[in-house]
Amino acid sequence: MNLIKARFLYFATLTLTLLLFASCDGDEEGANPGNTDDSIILGFSQIGAESAWRTYNSLSVKEAAEEAGIQLLFENAEQKQAKQIKAIRSFIVYQVDVIAFVPIVADGWDNVLTEAKDAGIPVLVTDRKINTADETLYAGFIGTDSIREGREAALFLQKKFASSERANPVRIVEISGTEGASCVIGRAEGFREIIESDGSFEIVYSFSGDFLKSKGYEIMHSILDKISDIDVLYSHNDGMTLGAIEAMKERGIRPGSDIVIVTIDAEQAAIDALRRGEVNCVIECNPRTGPVIMDLARKLAEGETIRRLIHVEEEVFTEWDDLDAIEPRGY
């Protein structure tokens, strides 16, 4: 490619990027478009708004950026990895100080992260993890320990059925989240590590509901069309659980009694269902990572190294706990 053409392409890309960020949704909350001082510029690629958890996670990031005086370029990928890659490339052209992103799936990031590395821009992976052979492609990870979440779900069921007369094996249906997402792989792995070595349980059905309430509803109806003797629903997020509960009720099935339910996230609606006895165990997945992300971004922008792996604090709420003591969830 000759020099004139290369220069034209560079300036065209730069112009497009500046236009893109002039229209990006950062001017809703959290960005400081009028910001002219030398504050840190953080490019953040979020996967979308598929659940109450995700929406609250985005709010946490935007509010924390505002609080920290960090200029936030916030891009919503609408559940498409290609849009995340495009956003990261535009952050590179814009020459942000730091890039942070939630990888919608674990694979397929090496090329674009190599471009960020070549541009000298540090990358922070948040919420979900990536698979890469080159650990130098990102500075660190902050988010949930999904394998532990899966194990906690299994440990609750072992306790719940320890002295139960229920059928042996206890028949489990799993509604999982977005295929290929690290949190889904971890929640399935941690759960099976215990359930499959126990001998009293059987996973009779597993299907992806993509973390969507509507799919949780559809899948539960579809499962109940096929099989009736289900003892447990293990659902990878509250949105899908709430959809599945609607389907159960429409068939006269008592959620939390006829079918024991374990769910992950701990949004308010799930805690309310726990209090009504419609859910038996809620495992927290903490969406409030904004402040830590900003602290890590500042450190990276100032050339400091950060811890490679930071798992956020998370609780487990069960039917045996003092449910009135649970703080309002905020989302």
Report the residue from 21, 53, 74, 141 that binds ligand GZL according to the rule CB under 6 A.
53
Minimum distance of ligand GZL from residue 187's CB (angstroms): 8
Running DSSP on this structure, what letter comes out for residue 197? H
CA distance 207 to 236: 11
The smaller minimum CB distance to ligand GZL, of residues 75 and 127, is found at: 127
Task: Check binding of 98 to ligand GZL (CB under 6 A).
Answer: no
Q: Which residues contact 291 (CB under 8 A, 6 or more apart)?
A: 60, 64, 67, 68
The smaller minimum CB distance to ligand GZL, of residues 51 and 90, is found at: 51
CA distance 106 to 47: 12
Residues linked to residue 46 through DSSP beta bridges, in sequence order:
76
| Site for ligand GZL, residues 157 to 176, rule: CB under 6 A | none
Whether residue 45 contacts residue 130, with contact meaning beta carbons closer than 8 Å, is answered with no
Task: Check binding of 278 to ligand GZL (CB under 6 A).
Answer: no
Binding window for ligand GZL (CB under 6 A); candidates: 10-18, 45-53, 290-298, 316-324: 45-53
Report the residue from 220, 264, 273, 279 that binds ligand GZL according to the rule CB under 6 A.
264
Task: Check binding of 64 to ligand GZL (CB under 6 A).
Answer: no
The smaller minimum CB distance to ligand GZL, of residues 54 and 299, is found at: 54
Minimum distance of ligand GZL from residue 43's CB (angstroms): 19
Residues linked to residue 73 through DSSP beta bridges, in sequence order:
43
For ligand GZL, what does the binding mask look like between residues 184 and 223, x meaning CB under 6 A?
---------------------------x------------
Neighbours of 205 (CB within 10 A): 17
Question: DSSP string spanning 16-66?
Answer: HHHHHHHHSGGGTTT--TT--SS--EEEEEE----SHHHHHHHHHHHHHHH
Minimum distance of ligand GZL from residue 265's CB (angstroms): 5
**Strand (E) positions, 266-315?**
281-284, 309-311
Binding window for ligand GZL (CB under 6 A); candidates: 47-55, 165-173, 217-225, 226-234: 47-55
# residues contacting ligand GZL (CB under 6 A): 15
Q: Which residues contact 102 (CB under 8 A, 6 or more apart)?
A: 45, 46, 47, 57, 126, 127, 128
Residues interacting with ligand GZL, by CB under 6 A?
50-51, 53-54, 127-128, 143-144, 183, 211, 237, 239, 264-265, 285
